[in-house]
Amino acid sequence: MSITTKQIESQALNVEVEKFLKAGGVIQTLERSQYQTFRSPCFDKSLKELQAVAKKNKRKTFSYWCDKHGIGQFKSKDAKCIRCGALA
């Protein structure tokens, strides 16, 4: 996507937000503590499924969500977080 396209889409989004606010819409800002542990939707497979894919492709690690520090690398061998050793 080109920068020009992104700028056009950004301007269109700004126009939509202004319309929403003028129509009485309200935007609520969440405190950081309310969303810092959000699990990314990019993990559409379970830990075990991702571990199996990594093993099949002969990868030593794969990415997944660690409750201690967010997205992290996990060992394909035992599915433990490389940084803290926890199981997801």
Would you give per-residue pLDDT tens digits along the chain (88 residues)? 788 888 999 999 999 999 999 999 998 876 655 444 455 556 667 888 889 999 999 999 998 888 888 888 999 999 999 999 887 6
Grouping H, G, I as helix, E, B as strand and the rest as coil, residue 9 is: helix
pLDDT the model gives residue 37: 47
The span from the CA of 24 to the CA of 41, in Å, is: 30
The span from the CA of 73 to the CA of 51, in Å, is: 11
pLDDT the model gives residue 42: 61
pLDDT the model gives residue 34: 47
Within 24-69, strands assigned E span: 61-66
The span from the CA of 52 to the CA of 64, in Å, is: 13
Chain position carrying tokens 């199981």: 87
pTM beyond 0.85? no
The span from the CA of 9 to the CA of 12, in Å, is: 5
